[in-house]
């Protein structure tokens, strides 16, 4: 939205451009109560009025037209500001109407001052006179939205709780006579709601604007009396999984109804709200545990209480996000470590099995070699009787496995036998390898 469009929007509500600001919220989920509470928290000493709210259908943006009776606060005079810790909004200053500068002389012929200085001074003078004049009842006037009392609520109207809340605040802020307040209330009523006021004036001539609101509250508000509302307020507790700020908002709605029915003085609302928060909050709520230590003997106003709670909730949410990312990373690393340990253990077991098989094979080969040499030596022996008789057929006719000749065994081979590594040394090497694998397996299990 550009400044010219914002200025036309102000003119539609008969508001002064110097007292208005258009706030561009980058979201379409903000309710009017949330906007009002956020603005009241930022400017508790200068209450602003929400003239109108528009949602942009093309982009998820919400435009809010605000007006302050005492002038735009300093925090709303920049190009942007933080409405909350997470939401930053853009501020649009409505453009002031300007004349044709080509035909305006540099100095006015009567006063001798530059036109800019002259008109600025005159504008401030007129504004001061309008503020101090009792004959300008429409100064800073914001017309209430329509309310008819029909169910379901027609399109373009407000429900009763929202309308009565705005009406009560508007009647308190209107610095005009009570007759003008009654007239402005009548302008916003339609259908059954207008009939209620008509019957009230017929039965009680000369009633006030406060009595108008009381009659509407009796006809369209809740049917609970003050005692029932106070009982409901004192027995409203925080639900499981409910944020503490939401619980405080629910309590504030109930206590507001009690005040409207004149069951409690507004000055006692903060103390009653704080006491019920300490009483009805969940005992293990982390924010309440801090508040019981920090604010046990301190009574905060509604705005300060909500601000402190929302700051703690934002801190807890940030910690949850950080812990969640760390937990996911640790779980992934732990899963990989367990898988690696399982693979290593499987490989170690396979190597153990293979080594045991090799040991059995080496032992059997060693025993067979020993038996072969013994048989070869025994079979190579010839008795003297056989030599005397010259029985050469009894001589060994075996083939040597060393040189390949016939007539002797490898143990008596004249060419010698090939030196080989003793089997005992190979068995010792296998045992050392098994010991090393067992040590590695014990470390991997940890």
Sheet holding 80-82, edge to edge: 48-56, 61-68, 20-25, 88-92, 80-82
9: which 2 tokens? 């929007």
pLDDT at 107: 46
pLDDT at 325: 66
Distance, in Å, from the CA atom of 407 to the CA atom of 404, rounded to the nearest integer, reads: 10
88: which 2 tokens? 């930053």
Cβ(244)–Cβ(285) below 8 Å: yes
pLDDT at 114: 57
Cβ(146)–Cβ(156) below 8 Å: yes
**Nearest CA among 127, 209, 190, 165 for reference residue 49:** 165
Cβ(52)–Cβ(65) below 8 Å: yes
5: which 2 tokens? 């469009």
Residue 103: phi and psi, rounded to 5, are -100, 5
Residue 272's region, left for phi above 0, alpha for psi from -120 to 50, else beta, is alpha
C-alpha distances (whole Å) from 25 to each of 40, 41, 58, 305 are 16, 17, 14, 24
**How many helical (H) and strand (E) elements, i.e. helices and strands, does the chain have?**
14, 5
Distance, in Å, from the CA atom of 67 to the CA atom of 18, rounded to the nearest integer, reads: 9
Low-confidence stretches of the chain (pLDDT < 70) are 27-30, 57, 97-119, 128-142, 325-342, 366-398, 402, 416-427, 437-446
On the 0-12 / 13-18 / 19+ scale of CB atoms within 10 A, 245 is: middle
148: which 2 tokens? 């008819």
**Nearest CA among 223, 167, 226, 153 for reference residue 197:** 167
C-alpha distances (whole Å) from 150 to each of 103, 182, 195, 260 are 55, 21, 12, 21
């Amino acid at each position: 939205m550009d400044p010219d469009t914002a200025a036309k929007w102000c003119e539609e509500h008969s508001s002064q451009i110097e007292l208005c600001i258009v706030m561009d919220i980058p979201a379409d989920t903000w309710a009017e109560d949330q906007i009002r509470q956020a603005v009241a928290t930022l400017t508790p000493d200068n209450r602003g009025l929400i003239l109108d709210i528009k949602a942009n259908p093309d982009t998820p943006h919400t435009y809010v037209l605000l007006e302050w009776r005492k002038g735009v606060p300093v925090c709303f005079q920049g190009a942007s500001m933080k409405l909350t810790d997470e939401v930053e909004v853009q501020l649009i200053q409505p453009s002031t109407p300007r004349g044709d500068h080509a035909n305006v002389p540099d100095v006015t012929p009567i006063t001798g001052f530059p036109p800019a200085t002259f008109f600025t001074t005159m504008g401030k003078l007129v504004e001061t006179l309008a503020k101090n004049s009792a004959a300008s009842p429409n100064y800073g006037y914001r017309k209430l939205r329509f309310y008819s009392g029909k169910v379901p609520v027609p399109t373009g109207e407000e429900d009763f709780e929202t309308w009565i809340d705005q009406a009560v605040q508007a009647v308190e802020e209107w610095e005009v006579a009570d007759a003008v307040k009654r007239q402005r209330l009548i302008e916003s009523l339609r259908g059954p709601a207008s009939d209620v006021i008509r019957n009230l004036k017929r039965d009680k001539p000369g009633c006030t604007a406060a009595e108008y609101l009381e009659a509407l509250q009796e006809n369209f508000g809740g049917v609970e009396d003050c005692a029932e509302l106070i009982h409901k307020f004192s027995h409203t507790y925080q639900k499981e999984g409910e944020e503490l700020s939401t619980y405080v908002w629910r309590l504030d709605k109930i206590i507001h109804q009690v005040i409207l029915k004149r069951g409690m003085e507004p000055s006692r609302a903060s103390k009653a709200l704080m006491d019920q928060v300490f009483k009805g909050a969940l005992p293990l709520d982390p924010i309440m545990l801090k508040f019981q230590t920090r604010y046990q003997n301190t009574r905060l106003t509604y705005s300060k209480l909500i601000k402190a709670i929302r700051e703690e909730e934002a801190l807890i949410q940030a910690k949850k996000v950080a812990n969640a990312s760390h937990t996911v990373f640790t779980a992934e690393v732990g899963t990989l470590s367990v898988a690696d340990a399982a693979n290593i253990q499987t490989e170690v077991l396979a190597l153990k099995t293979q080594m045991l098989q090799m040991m059995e094979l080496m032992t059997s080969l060693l025993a067979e070699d020993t038996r072969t040499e013994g048989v070869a030596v025994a079979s190579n022996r010839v008795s003297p009787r056989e030599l005397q008789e010259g029985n050469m057929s009894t001589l060994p006719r075996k083939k040597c496995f060393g040189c390949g000749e016939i007539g002797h065994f490898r143990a008596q081979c004249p060419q010698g036998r090939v030196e080989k590594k003793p089997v005992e040394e190979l068995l010792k090497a296998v045992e050392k390898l098994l010991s090393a694998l067992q040590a590695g397996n014990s470390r991997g299990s940890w």
